Structure 1
Amino acid sequence: MLSLIDAHHHFWDPRAHYYPWLNDAGHPPHRYGDHSSLKRPYLPADYRRDTAGFDLVGSVYVEAEWDPRDPVGEMRYVASLREQSGLPSVAIGQAWLHQPDAAATLEQLAQFDFVRGVRQKPRANPAPGGAPGGMTDGAWLKGYAQLLPLGLHYELQTPWWHLHEAARVARDFPDTRIVINHAGMPSDRSEAGLKAWRAALAEMAGCPNVAIKISGIGEAGGHWRLDANRRVVLEVIELFGVDRCMFGSNYPVDGLCASFRTIFDGFAQIVQGFSEGERSKLFVENAQRVYAI
């Protein structure tokens, strides 16, 4: 039985709460394709079913694009789930760092003893090139500066072509931890695409305050291929080292691509040549330390 802390997962109930991407008709498809099958409740009991057969040591809930008008409400909901089910262990809240009320939102989120950081997907271009992204905005940077005093870190989900902007932020705020989501999003699996992704990720790896989650590495069309993901997993670990990498399921979103078991058995197979101590760090200890579980 594989022991693990799942460093990235979600719960939601679109019948009871508002999630624009789940509730609004005509919302663009997910990067994996049609996501209509996700427009249903996914609750701790469902997650327990999907993780059956694993020794789940802990889990990290990541904001699920809940109603952006009420980010604190999402953490109240998570608090109720924790009371009812014991899951998740800790959580990452939603905060719009560029908005005038960012400081007040962050202060309220920090009052939940299980909240460890925040995620907001900064403004990004749909392809390499173009105007600078949201991490260059003065208002965004002002909000970002509020994280460290409140004991919060930043979860970064952005296309790899904006990672040079994130590296600048990491260097300018060396005491604020950044955790990259979804392996830096290597969406283009061509040789040229993977080389560009690796080069961008290497700049982030040079910042000691940056860690990374190997999660959400399915492909457009809903595929989770061991042969394709092996290179991604191993190159991330090569760049960041065993001590700064964690595995996450991105469930239930990655249920569009594969079962929970397929994903974690795949991770286990890819790193089977690592030492027992290294595997323990990748599957449990690093997440335990980074998220203070």
Structure 2
Amino acid sequence: MPSLQKIENAVDPHHHFWSPKTHDWLEKVAESGHPAGPFRSVLNYHVEDYAQDAATFNVTKSVHVQAHFSGEPVEETKWLQEISDKSGFPTGIVAYADLTKPDVDSVLAAHCQYSNMRGIRQMIDYHPTNEQWRQCPHDKFMTDDAWLTGLQLLPKHNLSFDMQIHVPQMQVASEVVRRNPNVQFMLNHAGFPYTFTDDAIQSWKEGMSALSRHDNIAVKLSGFNMYYKEWNKQVLHPLLEYAINTFSVGRCMFASNFPVDKINGKYADLLGTYLEVCGDLGYSQANAEQMFRDNALRLYRL
């Protein structure tokens, strides 16, 4: 098993900046109400905090992903571009747009006036039984004609789509990906393999297999310790092994999901553990460089 070296100029393709002033929902989960645990310790997470964390793993480029900004969607992109212009982070921006709205084309155009704009995330993860695991009020977006029409506008603006879904949604999602070959999809957080029963893991594997058949979807390997507070190599090994084998090295990206994952771990420990598992699985240094840097550079056009 190769001993992998820390990646030079690593890229983190999934993180957030926030405070209660910019994201008013944070106070609601300060003590409870989120799968990761109480947010009190990460209520304020600014570019200075991120830069300090990212430096512990040689990260020099990053992608900020929307997370229920309190203002207008384009205002978030403007805010992030101003931060980047001063600090260098984030290098890419994945913003919010409601793809069902009649004015979505003009909203996408407004986002794209900012040079770091790269993609859209509209969180469509809906769990049929656990309300705490729902980021939207229903599970009808992927079969809604208006939403699908909005999705088809993304290539016009050279934008990708960050797809955040739960395991029961994967088969429908696979059909959406198949029907939109010109859209680059990024599956968030490995599709949330959060239940370790045999049936649940089998459903996750079947869903990942269905999605991976389409060349226009990549997967972000992140967010595991939102659900596994006692995460370690033993927990991560079978999940990462299956995800990488199924999607291939060329379509996998490791990400921090900070500051959410900061609740249950340190930046260098988390990314370092991912790197150790890659070594345990027999991946080469060149493979690791793809998954910790090169794939994100290519897929997010950084």
Q: Tell me if both proteins adopt one fold, taking TM over 0.5 as the criterion.
A: yes
- How many angstroms apart in 2 are the aligned matches of 1:174 and 1:75? 26
The superposition leaves residues 112-143 of structure 1 with CA deviations (integer Å, 9 ceiling, x where unpaired) of 22111000112623349xx8532111111111
Which residue of the other structure, out of 123, 142, 154, is the alignment partner of 1:135? 142
Which residues of 2 match residues 50-61 of structure 1 at below 5 A?
50-61=53-64
Contact preservation (8 Å) 1:123, 1:134: no
The superposition leaves residues 151-187 of structure 1 with CA deviations (integer Å, 9 ceiling, x where unpaired) of 1110001111111121111111111110000011111
Contact preservation (8 Å) 1:33, 1:220: no
Counterpart residue number, 1:292: 301
- How many angstroms apart in 2 are the aligned matches of 1:32 and 1:282? 24
Which residue of the other structure, out of 6, 11, 19, is the alignment partner of 1:5? 11
Counterpart residue number, 2:52: 49
Counterpart residue number, 2:97: 95
How much has 1:244 moved relative to structure 2? 0.3
- How many angstroms apart in 1 are the aligned matches of 2:143 and 2:31? 27
Which residue of the other structure, out of 85, 88, 95, is the alignment partner of 2:87? 85
Counterpart residue number, 1:268: 275
- How many angstroms apart in 2 are the aligned matches of 1:25 and 1:194? 28
The superposition leaves residues 51-104 of structure 1 with CA deviations (integer Å, 9 ceiling, x where unpaired) of 23322131111112102x500010111011112211111110011111233222
Aligned CA-pair RMSD: 2.0
Residues 27 and 169 of structure 1: CA distance in aligned 2, closer, same or farther (over 3 Å): farther
The answer on 1:283 being equivalent to 2:286 is: no
Which residues of 2 match residues 94-133 of structure 1 at below 5 A?
94-122=96-124, 124-127=126-129, 132-133=139-140
**Which is worse superposed, 26-35 or 58-67?**
26-35
Relative contact order (C-alpha < 8 Å, sep 6+): which is higher? 2
What's the TM-score, normalizing by structure 2?
0.89
Q: How many residues align?
A: 287
Contact preservation (8 Å) 2:57, 2:267: no
Amino acid at match of 1:11: F
Contact preservation (8 Å) 2:73, 2:95: yes
Secondary structure in structure 2 of the residue aligned to 1:218: helix
The superposition leaves residues 222-271 of structure 1 with CA deviations (integer Å, 9 ceiling, x where unpaired) of 33222111111111001000000000000010011211111111111001
- How many angstroms apart in 2 are the aligned matches of 1:123 and 1:83? 32
How much has 1:144 moved relative to structure 2? 0.7
- How many angstroms apart in 1 are the aligned matches of 2:141 and 2:24? 21
What's the TM-score, normalizing by structure 1?
0.92
- How many angstroms apart in 2 are the aligned matches of 1:162 and 1:288? 28
Gaps of 5+ in 2: 1-5, 131-137
Gaps of 5+ in 1: none
- How many angstroms apart in 2 are the aligned matches of 1:240 and 1:254? 23
Counterpart residue number, 1:194: 201
The answer on 1:32 being equivalent to 2:32 is: no
Amino acid at match of 1:75: T
Residues 248 and 292 of structure 1: CA distance in aligned 2, closer, same or farther (over 3 Å): same
Q: Percent identity?
A: 29
